Amino acid sequence: MTPDSFSDGGRFAGDPERAEEAAHAMVEAGAEIVDVGGESTRPGADPVSPAEEQRRVLPVIERLAAAGRCLVSVDTYRAETAALAVAAGAHIVNDVWGLQRDAGMATLAARTGVGLCIMHTGREREKLADVIDDQFAFLGRSLRLASDAGISADRIVLDPGFGFAKDTTENLRLMMRCAELHALGYPLLVGTSRKRFVRAGLRDERGVDHATAATSVLLRERGAAIFRVHDVAANRDALALVDAALAVGEAK
């Protein structure tokens, strides 16, 4: 619901009805969760006030929750916005700062029992040289915050944060080694869709959704459970094929 997101900024800004229609189209294409955000997370994006973020997302969340066709996720790192979104019907809070930006977020998640996506980011800090070591260090701290707040472990998924202060090589290494993150003991949600490292080797920008689907296949093979994408149908088709192949392999 922003005017400046990296891929679809401006398409739905200020128009909850059009956003709802787009969300229903996503559901028809196979989406089970719709993620609603009010502040762009692209590099260099201008922050917005909590009031403006809430003005953008709450009407859409209310509409989608009332329709009852999908789970609704709110993309916010602010506990204040998250609380209002949950009250409006959101089922999941997607925190791109992994509970480490707003001290009230962990408390809010524990109190409401909402589903929680804890994302890794490398922004505004010194990263460790090894991409997996850095994942364990950052997400380990986030999970301690969650545990200390009393958040039930079965409410949590982890997101390795592709593209968040990671260059192309780091993103590719993270993708190939993503299975190592299962040692943390939580399902993995991944979001590679249309990101810069996916575009890096393209002959033509029109191929970005095909390249995204290729990353989805690789990450499914490495055990990723949830995929945040723009082109739902292409990725559902790609995942259906790899799931069928994995099932045959397991049956041998």
Would the CA dihedral through 202, 204, 205, 210 be positive or negative?
negative
Q: C-alpha angle with apex 217: 25 to 11, nearest 5 degrees?
A: 30
Instruction: List the catalytic residue out of 56, 63, 78, 195.
Output: 195
Specify whether 195 is catalytic.
Answer: yes
Round to whole Å and give the CA distance between 105 and 98. 9
C-alpha R_g of the chain: 17
Would you tell me how many other CB atoms lie within 10 Å of the CB of residue 53? 25
Specify whether 155 is catalytic.
Answer: no
Collapsed DSSP state (helix, strand, coil) of residue 107: helix
Q: Which amino acid is at 123?
A: R
Instruction: List the catalytic residue out of 78, 194, 220, 228.
Output: 228
Annotated catalytic sites, by residue?
A: 195, 228
